[in-house]
Amino acid sequence: MTGLNATHDPARRSWVESANAAGADFPIQNLPFGVFSQGAGAHRVGVAIGDRILDLTALEASGRLVPSPQERVFADGVLNPFMALPQAIWSETRARIADLLDAEVGGPQGLVTVPLVEATMHLPIFVRSFTDFYASREHASNVGSMFRGPDNALMPNWLHLPVGYNGRASTVVVSGTQIRRPNGQLKAPDVDAPSFGPCRRLDIELEMGAIVGTPSTMGQPVTTAQAYDMIFGYVLLNDWSARDIQVWEYQPLGPFQAKAFATTISPWVVTREALEPFRVPTPERIKPLLPYLEEGSANNFDIHLEIDMAPSGAAPTTISRTNYRHMYFSSAQQLTHHSASGCAMCTGDLLGSGTVSGRTPDSLGSLLEMSWNGRDPIAVAGGTRTFIEDGDTLTLRGWCEGDYRVGFGACAGTILPAVDYGR
């Protein structure tokens, strides 16, 4: 299991001066991985440092960074070949990059860096599969109370296992991608038959995404300790949701079209190793877990999370502030449960945590909760909202704060009108 090492030293400084500024998302202690291009250039793998990107594809080609002597793992502009290497290589590569960027032992000579503002960011991984969970007790209790009443808010299985469903990897997109409002079947409570048309109750889900690096073997479950180590890193994740389509279609098998149209992730993958100083335990158990889900260490993280909402032409309004530490089931427990049947986990699998909600009205992770299913409008710049309107931009932000800041950057998307089937 990864512990603290020299890459976490709060005294380290980089020769990239912007990385040393107070409140910088990407100091030398972070070093998140991403994929970028310039102009019409090829996709390249890089690490964010301050306001610049260190080009790892160029660094590997020059021979100054060699994660694998058998192949160039950064040559294809995707992180999967690197994530598939042994976990010790992840750590050794991170340490080597930190040394190259260190103000005392490194220097800019022979290194290619690119200003962040000049780069176009791309999906950092090939998403092998996408699974979305439902692991915040506060969120599940709010939604359950809304539709079944407070006495039946949590389903009987909820406190015993991380509830989840298999989603669509094909529509996972990087931050900045515009999202088309989905069409689907809709049925109002006072009519006998459904109609077809644009979603009217479009929502967000503030989540974290865990990315699997080390695969598992079909038929071989993994422990929570093994699952923790298998995770390469984390991203912000917005699982866009069509609530009115969902409420009609989800029984008896769960979400389908209401979730399949888009999932947005942030472009920078913050490594599990970078998050080590910010580990916290899961909340106190209400009911004992079965032994296979028990954890021998603190596998949650203290990650501050925010949601900004900006109507077209208006300034953003922060509509939620919450924390990932509220999650009742950790990503390691989710991964363990996923493998418990013998399901093989693959390099590039993406696990959505489920909506992250806190206990107060200003810490909720979805508009469904904030507006209480449209009953209570939310104040934003230029007016109010109950759900998302065309032209609105939703932005998630996240960071850990201690002796230094480890940021995730932004996870943003703007809503376009639905396709008009009448044309």
Decide if 271 is inside a domain.
Answer: yes
User: What is the mean pLDDT of the segment spanning 235-254?
Assistant: 95
Q: Find the range with the poorest average confidence among 85-99, 139-153, 361-375, 398-412.
A: 139-153
Quick one: 87 and 219 in the same domain? no
Q: How confident is the model at residue 422 (pLDDT cuts 50, 70, 90)?
A: low
* CATH number of domain containing 182: 3.90.850.10
Decide if 313 is inside a domain.
Answer: yes
Q: Which two tokens stand for residue 174?
A: 């990087």
Quick one: 140 and 88 in the same domain? no
Which domain-ending residue is among 89, 122, 155?
A: 122
Percent with pLDDT over 70 in the chain: 99
Quick one: 341 and 200 in the same domain? yes
Locate all alpha helices (DSSP H) within 278-412, ordered by sequence: 331-339, 367-370
Strand partners, 394: 309, 413
Decide if 286 is inside a domain.
Answer: yes
CB 212 within 8 A of CB 131: no
pTM of this structure: 0.97
Respond yes or no on whether the N-terminal peptide bond of residue 361 is cis (omega within 30° of 0).
no
How do residues 218-229 score in pLDDT, each as one tens digit? 999 999 999 999
Quick one: 253 and 192 in the same domain? yes
Task: Count how many domains the chain has.
Answer: 2
Strand partners, 14: 102
Decide if 1 is inside a domain.
Answer: no
Domain housing 106 = 6-122
CB 360 within 8 A of CB 366: no
Decide if 421 is inside a domain.
Answer: no
Q: What is the mean pLDDT of the chain?
A: 96
Quick one: 32 and 175 in the same domain? no
* CATH number of domain containing 40: 2.30.30.230
User: What is the mean pLDDT of the segment spanning 276-287?
Assistant: 97
User: What is the mean pLDDT of the segment spanning 45-70?
Assistant: 97
What is the 8-class DSSP label of residue 144? H
**Farthest-apart Cα atoms in the chain, separation:** 72
Q: What are phi and psi of 325, to 5 degrees?
A: -65, -15
How do residues 328-366 score in pLDDT, each as one tens digit? 999 999 999 999 999 999 999 999 999 999 999 999 999
Quick one: 140 and 42 in the same domain? no
Q: What is the C-alpha R_g of the chain?
A: 21
Strand partners, 36: 44, 121
Decide if 288 is inside a domain.
Answer: yes
Quick one: 296 and 175 in the same domain? yes
User: How many whole angstroms from its chain centre is CA 193?
Assistant: 37
Which domain-ending residue is among 102, 122, 142?
A: 122
Catalytic site includes residue 337: no
Quick one: 253 and 298 in the same domain? yes
Quick one: 115 and 44 in the same domain? yes
From 268, 233, 271, 347, select the one nearest 54 (Cα to Cα): 268
How do residues 151-208 score in pLDDT, each as one tens digit? 999 999 999 999 999 999 999 999 999 999 999 999 998 999 999 999 999 999 999 9
User: What are the DSSP E strand ranges found in 230-361?
Assistant: 231-238, 241-242, 263-265, 270-271, 279-280, 300-301, 304-310, 317-323, 350-352
Of residues 139, 326, 337, 338, which has the active-site annotation? Answer: 139
Q: Strand, coil or helix: what is 62?
A: coil
Q: How confident is the model at residue 29 (pLDDT cuts 50, 70, 90)?
A: very high
d(CA 110, CA 59): 9
What is the 8-class DSSP label of residue 324? G
Quick one: 87 and 166 in the same domain? no
From 228, 323, 322, 330, select the one nearest 285 (Cα to Cα): 330
Strand partners, 238: 206, 264
Q: What pLDDT, on a 0 to 100 scale, did the predictor assign at position 2?
A: 62
Q: What pLDDT, on a 0 to 100 scale, did the predictor assign at position 1?
A: 46
Decide if 150 is inside a domain.
Answer: yes
Q: How confident is the model at residue 41 (pLDDT cuts 50, 70, 90)?
A: very high
Quick one: 107 and 143 in the same domain? no
Quick one: 187 and 160 in the same domain? yes
Q: Strand, coil or helix: what is 105?
A: coil
Which domain-ending residue is among 122, 138, 173?
A: 122
Q: How confident is the model at residue 277 (pLDDT cuts 50, 70, 90)?
A: very high
Decide if 423 is inside a domain.
Answer: no
Apex 315 CA angle, 310 and 316, nearest 5 = 45
